[in-house]
Structure formats: C-alpha cells, structure tokens
Amino acid sequence: MNGLRRQLCLDQSLETGNLLLEMDFWRLGSNHTLVSVWSTWLAQRLVALPLMVQGRRHSAADLLNYANEANIQVAVYASVERILLASTSQYSRSRLSAIGVVYRDKKGRYHHAMVREKGEVMLSAGAIGSPQLLLISGIGPRSYLSSLGIPVSYHLPYVGQYLYDNPRNGISIVPPMPLENSLIQVVGITEAGAYLEAASTVIPFVSPARAVFIRTPSTSPLYLTVATLMEKIVGPLSTGSLRLASTDVRVNPIVRFNYFSSPVDVERCVNGTRKIGDVLRSRSMEDFMFREWFGARNFRYVGPALPVDLSDFTQMADFCRRTVSTIWHYHGGCVMGKVVDRDYHLIGVGALRVVDGSTLTVSPGTNPQATLMMLGRYLGLKIIRERKKSH
C-alpha cells in the first residue's frame, strides 16, 4: 500500500499564472461566495494532479508494476466483442451468469477468455464502453434490443440511461507575456456549485503564405501562449443517454448528453461564468491585458468573450449554451441502484460486475482518474476478503 501511495500522491507546485488566480479567489472570497480555497488546493494535490511526476502523466497501467506477475495475464491490442452468458445454478443471486468474454486481437482473430471456478467478469470500459458492451451482449431494454435484432439475454431497462457529462464553459485570452505550460488546475469552488479552473498552453499559429506585415516562412509557425479560465458545474442534473450505432463494438455509439436540459444546471453555469467575470476585473488580471491606444487596456480573446452585461441572465444563459464544451469526464450509463447493486454486481446477472465511472451519478469536481483507481482498489480488497471468508 505504501508503494501505491507513492505512485499516486506526488506533489506538484502551482504554475505562476494559476497561483495569481488562486490569490484572486482568496480576495473575491471575502464576500463568502467562495468555499475555502485551501481545501480545494489540498484536494487538488490528492486527486487532480498527483499522477504527474517530472512532466510524465501516470495511468492505471503503471500500477501493474505492483501486481503479482503469477496472478495476472494481460492481452495487449485486444478488443472485447461481447460478454458470454449462460444459465447456471452456481450463483444463487441469478439464473444467468457471465462465463467469459470473446475478444479480437490486432490481426482480427477471435479468442475466448473464460472465468475459472468462482471467478467473475469485471467490466471496466468506462461510461461509453461499458453500456455499449452490455447492450451488444444482449443486456438492456428488451424492446430496444429486439428492434436491433440483438437476442435478449436479460431485460435491464436502464442500461445506457442516466448518462452525464459536466458541461464546461469559459474564455481564452492571449497574454502579453509567455506563461508556463500548465494542465487544467482547480483554483476555486463556488458555493453555487461551480468549479473554476485555469490552464495555459502554447499553440502554433502558421502565418499566411503571403503575409503583408510578417515575413516568415510558411513552415515556421508563430507560437503564442493561450491562457484559459473556465468553469465546470458540479453534478450535473441534466441526463442523457447512449444507443448503438451498430452491433459492431468497434463503431462508436450514439451519445446524447442533453446539456443544460435542467434549469438548475443553467443557473449554475450563469453563476460560474459571472465569477469568471469577477476574476477578469480583479487586480492580478491587469497583467494579462494589452495596452491599447490612448492608454486603454483590454484582453485579447481567442474565441467568444463574456457578454458585456453580466447581470443579464438571458444573455449569460445563451453564452452557456453557445460555448459549452466537454472536459471528458463522462459518467453514468450503468448507475448504481438501476444497473448495478451496491457491490457493483450487475442486477440480475451473476459473476458480472461493472467497476468504472459508468456507475457514478456524480463525478468529482477535479479529474476523476485517481478516484476511479481507488474504486478499483476498494472493490479488489473487498473481493479478496469475501473469498477468504468463503474458504
């Protein structure tokens, strides 16, 4: 466990630009509209950034270094096609159980991976892949599967439903000075349920071939720093769904998140973007402005700017809908209580668990990677304890 902690809990200092933003949030927080930034700073290091060391981001694959090689076999370039199901009396919880999977290797050849006695299939394909694989395997709404010609193995109506994605909105500016390249970092959380985040990156802009004022070769791009300030709402309450575009697992499913279908999400976005406006008017952000003619100072935006009248709810709501983007923290589709039980067993099917973000109804405000890795570890320890008791 100590080795695992060392792998996950790696500290990283805030880049200069984001540190200035955090200082501004402290000042803006004096009117009690912000939750303590200190708790955000601490949680950020334990959840959002800890998988970064010496510029290299770590993934779940790195944890294989801590696995017992005698107990694990990994098939690389393998794509699971479907889950194999069979009627069995081995599991008292259901008359139907998972007995293995069919997968395809990189050359297109099919293979079977079968569970051993008292073994289980652990499905961890994410909020998009897990419900897709269940549907292709015949687990889902009976009428929907039948309409696609998929033999129904088990009627489970909520597979692919209650799909969520945290909408992200914000602004991007070109600062007058270069900034360090920075991943997205949380710099504040509002009481209204918005996570405020900042990032900076260097983007190459290629000059036109016949530039009039800038004589640079067309092969030599101009590198500009772009700073982004964004807000992501907690939850959300708006729900979407997933349906199959094909019975071929290699074809991406059709996903609809229904952003801002809940008026509560719209209100949270408006409150969050207004807070971005407060930050832009703060003292520290003056350094990010360009000096114009006659002494005026303004930001130079890349993409849409905030509405001029931040008090106009209609304009702010329109901005939220026009500029919404994803931060790729999809979750749901196999939510607990509707598709899996509290021990992550698929309801009605034995020897099959879903252990990933598809079981969540709320995603952590920061990057959920470490949270999901700990979910896997929690369930792994739980299974080991259960097996020891049964012996």
Q: Judge if 81 and 145 occupy the same domain.
A: yes
What's the pLDDT band for 327 if we cut at 50, 70, 90?
Answer: confident
Q: Judge if 158 and 39 occupy the same domain.
A: no
Q: Judge if 93 and 147 occupy the same domain.
A: yes
CATH label of the domain that carries residue 140 = 3.50.50.60
Indicate if the pLDDT at residue 58 is higher than 80: no
Whole-number average pLDDT of the chain: 83
Asked whether residue 97 is domain-assigned, the answer is: yes
What's the pLDDT band for 264 if we cut at 50, 70, 90?
Answer: very high
Q: What is the pLDDT of residues 123-146, one digit of tens each?
A: 999 999 999 999 999 999 999 999
Q: Judge if 190 and 215 occupy the same domain.
A: yes
> What are the structure tokens assigned to 120, written together?
């289980």
Question: How many domains is the chain built from?
Answer: 2
Asked whether residue 261 is domain-assigned, the answer is: no
Q: Judge if 153 and 196 occupy the same domain.
A: no
Asked whether residue 269 is domain-assigned, the answer is: no
Q: Judge if 23 and 152 occupy the same domain.
A: no
Q: Judge if 210 and 154 occupy the same domain.
A: no
CATH label of the domain that carries residue 38 = 3.30.410
Q: Judge if 10 and 150 occupy the same domain.
A: no
Domain that holds residue 95: 77-164+330-360
Q: Judge if 51 and 174 occupy the same domain.
A: yes
Residue matched to tokens 């949380």: 186
- Can you give the pLDDT at residue 223? 82
Asked whether residue 273 is domain-assigned, the answer is: no
Q: Judge if 151 and 174 occupy the same domain.
A: no
Instruction: Give the integer Cα–Cα distance in Å for 97 and 84.
Output: 9
Indicate if the pLDDT at residue 24 is higher than 80: no
What's the pLDDT band for 4 if we cut at 50, 70, 90?
Answer: very low
**Radius of gyration over every alpha carbon of the chain, rounded to an integer in angstroms:** 24
Asked whether residue 374 is domain-assigned, the answer is: no
Asked whether residue 350 is domain-assigned, the answer is: yes
Q: Judge if 204 and 286 occupy the same domain.
A: yes
Indicate if the pLDDT at residue 363 is higher than 70: yes
What's the pLDDT band for 344 if we cut at 50, 70, 90?
Answer: very high
> What are the structure tokens assigned to 127, written together?
């909020």
User: Which residues, in sequence order, are CB contacts of 173 under 8 Å at separation 6+?
Assistant: 226, 227, 228, 229, 288, 299, 300, 301, 302
Q: What is the pTM of this model?
A: 0.81
Which residues does the annotation mark as catalytic?
329
Asked whether residue 49 is domain-assigned, the answer is: yes
Q: Judge if 285 and 227 occupy the same domain.
A: yes
Q: Please give the torsion angle defined by the CA atoms of residues 221, 224, 230 and 235, in that order, rounded to the nearest 10 degrees.
A: 40
- Can you give the pLDDT at residue 269? 95
